[in-house]
Structures are given as C-alpha cells and as structure tokens.
Amino acid sequence: MPNATTARLSRRGLLAVGGALGLGAVLTACGGDDAKDGGADTKGSAKIGPWTFKDDRGTTVKLDEAPKNIVAFTGVAAALYDYGIEVKGVFGPTATKDGKADVQAGDMDVSKVTVLGNVWDQFNVEKYAALAPDVLISTMFDDAGTLWYVPEASKDKIAKLAPSVGISVFDRQLTAPLQRMWELAESLGADMTAAKVTEAKKRFEAASERLRKAAKAKPEIKVLVGSASPELFYVSGSNLSIDLEYFKALGVNFVEPTEEAKKATGGWFESLSWENVDKHKADVIMMDDRSSAIQPADITEATWKQLPAVKAGQVIARSTEPILSYDKCVAPVEALAEAIEKARKVS
C-alpha cells in the first residue's frame, strides 16, 4: 500500500498489492442509496445544529449543519451505506465493465450515485462542483494525509470546493478505522443503536475470537498474502495493512517478504516473476479480490498451479481494501478462520 515517503510508488506502484491494497492502477468507488438491499435500517436522522468532525489528519471540519451532499471514495460510501447514510457522488472503483457493482461498492446501488471517476486518476471536477458538495470523505494510506483516489493534478481545485475528511487505514489494526467510521457515521446522523448495526459488531467480535482460536490451534499453518498481475505476483507483508496487522495480532502465522524487497516498496510487498512464484512456502494463500487484480480462477501460469496450497485447494479471497463497516468485515475474518481450521500442512 502507499507510503508517504514513496509518493510515486504509493500512488501508482502502490496499487501493486501492498498491505492494504493490491495491484493494478485501476480501482473503483461507489455511493449508496437508502437502507434497502443490505443497507442497515438506520436511515440517518437529520441532525439539528452545527456539525463538527475531527479526522485522522487532526483537521476539524465545522459546518452549520450535518452535511447532506456527501461525496466519498467507494469503500467509504459503501461503509456509510451500511449505516444508513447516503452519498451523492463517488470516486474510485464503482462499476465493472459489465456495469455491475465493483467488489468495493458493497451493497450500494451504483446506478443511483453520480460517479466522478471509476479508475485511478479520474475525477470529474466539473461534475463534483455541480453536486454542490458539503464534504468529501476518503481513506488515507500514508501518514502524510494523502486522500486516496483524489488525483494529485486536481487536488487543489477539489479542495477549494468543499472541506474534506480523511480516515487513516495506514499502519494500524482493522479495529481502529472501524471505530473511526462508526464515529463518523454516528456524527452524520446514523442510528448506531439499531439492531442490524449492533448485531453486526457482535458477529465481528465472534468471528475474531474464532480466528484467534484457529490460529492458536494450528500455529504451524503458514498464510501467504498475494495479488496477481499479468507480469508479476506480489507478496504482501503483514505490516502497514489494517487487515493483516489485525490478523497477525490474533495469532495468524504470515509468510513475510524479504526485508530487502520491502525496503524497495516502502515496506508493503515483494514482487516476484511468475517463474519464482514458489519462492515462499505456504499452506494457505489469500488472494486480492479487487477487480484490478487477476483472480485465482483466471491465473494460467503453470508455476501457480503447482503450488502446494493451490493443488490442495487452500486458496481464499482477501478483501484487500476492507469496507469499514462491521457487517462487511465479518466475512473476511470468518473465511480466514475457516481456512486455517480446515487447512492441511502442505508446505
């Protein structure tokens, strides 16, 4: 994932499988509709009076009232949707080539939001201005306050149109940004006492305990985190990425890239040729599920097919950029717990 000190790598190569991202220079984003079709039944109740929120840059946004015209990065919009908060516009991976919702859009109806840009470095400033935005919200994959998917070339123009909020997903465990998104949704008027919301949090906590027990019962199971492109296979390190840092804290035994390789990518990952994809031994492989990455079923490389974990059917998807609602973070935790529980030692 991106790193402030590796700005160029961060905004382009950064997209290459790093801890929290994966690969590809094309992602998508999306915004939500009302609380149906998977959205939490917590339709935001308009808050009366001034609205303030201090983001993870230490910046406090102050408005006369809670923002109504919200524009957000896909994953943020998807998380807010789960809490019953609608957005007007989105930017980032929103829809696939066949018009379906991108994996990062969650349960949102992508046909009901204004898409300002569906791929990396696309952001229609004119459309953004026409929405009369009250606030722009995105995640941050570095410690420099860089708003994810806001193009470098147009960031100053964008900043003049509305204040922004940044939620950090850099070098911390998953529970921290989950809590921050909860606080943001609550400030925007979401009902955080709704049964669907509180039950999702309980399910997440139960899934986490299941993963902890699975990792403790099978400490010998090695888990490799990968992402595939036509030319290279990327192996993510367990530092910096919110999901991997959390899983490691729960006891998961991750395969780590070499220190030399991580230094070259700001600590995020190691890139391997397909001829050398067997460099690291693993029992379970987690693969980047984003549309910018080649999915396991579509990998044709013979070296991949010969990997012990692949031959044993011990490959699962990884939500490389988790949607930061408790509801959407349950499945990835449960999937890894189940994979470790069922895994045979093949490395």
Read off the pLDDT of residues 252-302 as tens digits, 9 standing for 90 and up: 999 999 888 888 888 899 999 999 999 999 999 999 999 999 999 999 999
Q: Residue 335 above 50 pLDDT?
A: yes
What is the phi-psi region of residue 121: left when phi exceeds 0, alpha when psi lies from -120 to 50, beta otherwise? left
User: DSSP states of 228-276 as a string?
Assistant: E-SSEEEEE-SSSBHHHHHHHHTT-EE----HHHHHHTTTSEEEEEGGG
Model confidence pLDDT, tens digit, residues 208-228: 999 999 999 999 999 999 999
pTM, full prediction: 0.88
**CA dist 327 to 122, 183, 342, Å?**
29, 15, 24
First to last CA, the chain: 27
